[in-house]
């Protein structure tokens, strides 16, 4: 398996699935860990991307269960009220737009900044009641675009560093 150990694959998977890192962490890890071994870098990067692609289907299936717990009368009232306020604000903002489009959700996820990845995109899609299939496709498209952006930035950065320091 081309010099990649199971621990490295697991780390790439976890980084790809974590809310903060997603592909923004998995791809740089793959690049650094693999060094000049293109096959290892590809395996690790694809593992992180695959993990990131799993987020939307997982989150969009878990969030309805979480919502049922939150709206239950036994759930602490102040947290339930906070949840309702957040949902109300989301609906207010969404009502200003005609509808959440496929492209806007994909682009939101695609921008590789903190709090704009697949986890947040899934939460936005859930709160705004975007069709689940449409949301998964849009979020997955955003993940793939983000992957290209992150890989390009990492590759460009490494190329600049190598040229600056004549490595």
* Residue 113 near residue 146, CB atoms below 8 Å: no
Q: Tens digit of pLDDT for each residue in 10-59?
A: 999 999 999 989 999 999 999 999 988 999 999 999 999 999 999 999 99
Q: At 68, is the pLDDT very low, low, confident or very high (cuts 50, 70, 90)? A: very high
For residue 36, the SS3 value is coil
What local confidence, expressed as pLDDT, does residue 154 receive? 95
For residue 112, the SS3 value is coil
* pTM (two decimals): 0.86
How many residues would you count in the chain? 167
For residue 90, the SS3 value is helix
Q: State the number of CA atoms in the 13 A half-sphere of 150 facing the CB.
A: 29
DSSP structural state of residue 111: S
Q: Print burial letters for 65-78: b (CB count within 10 Å at least 16), e (below 16).
A: eeeeeeeeeeeeee
């Amino acid at each position: 398996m081309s010099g990649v150990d199971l621990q490295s694959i697991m780390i790439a998977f976890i980084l790809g699935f974590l809310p903060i890192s997603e592909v923004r962490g998995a791809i740089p890890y793959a690049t650094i860990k693999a060094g000049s071994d293109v096959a290892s870098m590809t395996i690790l990067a694809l593992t992180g991307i695959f993990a990131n692609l799993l987020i939307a289907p997982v989150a969009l299936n878990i969030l309805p269960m979480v919502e049922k717990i939150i709206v239950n009368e036994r759930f602490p009232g102040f947290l339930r009220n906070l949840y309702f306020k957040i949902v109300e604000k989301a609906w207010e903002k969404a009502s200003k737009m005609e509808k959440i489009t496929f492209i806007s959700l994909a682009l939101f996820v695609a921008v590789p900044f903190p709090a704009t990845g697949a986890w947040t995109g899934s939460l936005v899609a859930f709160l705004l009641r975007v069709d689940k299939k449409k949301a998964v496709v849009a979020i997955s498209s955003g993940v793939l675009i983000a992957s290209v952006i992150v890989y390009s930035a990492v590759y460009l950065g490494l190329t600049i560093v190598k040229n600056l320091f004549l490595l």
